[in-house]
């Protein structure tokens, strides 16, 4: 009910709460994460040329919907195979492109909430 007051409602309310609750200092912080999911990063992230090229390739590999619960693992596996990147070199540019922040909730939980269209809207 408190999420509804903050503007978070619908069928995504529960999965959203489960995704972000461990990253909140106070309930009002949920509004920021809801905005990021709905609108993307507040400021357009800046990337090196190498990371920008990597991200373009990564977004080209984003699977079509419908997605399953393993979409994050499936997508990053394809990216790893295609680019050879792993660990921070793979995950940090993706996190920054998707959320605009260096840390936060698990992207495996956020990606399904963004959907394919919302994810592609974050393409650099």
> The CATH number of the domain where 89 resides is what?
1.10.10
The sign of the torsion formed by the CA atoms of 2, 10, 67, 116 equals: negative
Give dist(CA 107, CA 102) in Å, integer: 12
* Three-state secondary structure readout of 22-71: HHCCCCCHHHHHHHHHHHCCCCCCCCCHHHHHHHHHHHHCCCCCCCCCCH
Taking a C-beta distance cutoff of 8 angstroms, is the pair 105, 19 a contact?
A: yes
What distance in Å separates the CA atoms of residue 46 and residue 94, rounded to the nearest whole number?
A: 12
Instruction: Indicate the number of domains in the chain.
Output: 1
50: containing domain? 1-124
- Which pTM does this prediction carry? 0.92
pLDDT digits (tens, 9 = 90+) for 43-80: 999 999 999 999 999 999 999 999 999 999 999 999 99
HSE of 74, CA atoms in CB hemisphere, 13 A: 13
**98-112: per-residue pLDDT in tens?**
999 999 999 999 999
């Amino acid at each position: 009910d408190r999420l509804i007051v903050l503007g978070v409602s619908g069928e995504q309310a529960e999965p959203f709460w489960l995704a972000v609750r461990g990253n909140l200092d106070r309930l009002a912080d949920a509004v920021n994460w809801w905005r990021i999911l709905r609108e993307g990063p507040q400021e357009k992230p800046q990337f090196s040329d190498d990371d920008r090229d990597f991200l373009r390739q990564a977004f080209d590999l984003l699977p079509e919907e419908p997605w399953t619960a393993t979409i994050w693992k499936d997508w990053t596996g394809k990216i790893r195979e295609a680019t050879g990147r792993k660990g921070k070199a793979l995950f940090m540019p993706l996190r920054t492109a998707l959320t605009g922040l260096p840390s936060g909730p698990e992207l495996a939980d956020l990606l399904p909430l963004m959907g394919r269209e919302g994810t592609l809207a974050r393409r650099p």
